[in-house]
Amino acid sequence: MRRNINLNQLALPFGQARSRSIPYEDRLKAFWFLAGLCLFSLGAYIYAVNATARNVSMRAALERESAELTAELATLEFQYITLKGEVTLAVAAEYGFEEVRKPLYVSRDEKPSLSFNTETP
């Protein structure tokens, strides 16, 4: 039994495939471009991980400081409430405060001005 072998029997039915070769210089440029891109990507990745770690530690420090300030503020508010309860009319008079007999109110009846005058012409 004899077989017929055609040289193009393994080619696609759409026609002969065209091949193109890339010169050595272009391949060298492409290699160095891709190598540089990989190094740049690696550097950007290392920077991003470093910045993330630094920001996480900074956030933890700020949260710790915020908790300390909140506790200090609560202590100061408690002291304020305690001292406010101790203020009486006698203590106010001791510091020179007096009760106002004739209070002065500001009204909008007069034309507006930039200063508050207690005397009216």
Amino acid at 92: A
Number of structural domains (the chain) is 1
How many angstroms separate the CA atoms of 33 and 79, rounded?
A: 68
- Assess if residue 36 is contained within a domain: yes
Domain that holds residue 90: 24-94
Cα separations in angstroms, 13 against 3, 16, 18, 101: 20, 8, 13, 111
- Assess if residue 83 is contained within a domain: yes
Q: With a threshold of 0.85, does the pTM exceed it? A: no
The answer on pLDDT for 29 being more than 90 is yes
pLDDT recorded at residue 36: 97
- Assess if residue 11 is contained within a domain: no
Using 50, 70 and 90 to split pLDDT, how confident is the model at 20? confident
- Assess if residue 18 is contained within a domain: no
- Assess if residue 102 is contained within a domain: no
Percent share of the chain, pLDDT over 70: 73
Other CB atoms within a 10 A radius of the CB of residue 95 amount to 7
- Assess if residue 75 is contained within a domain: yes
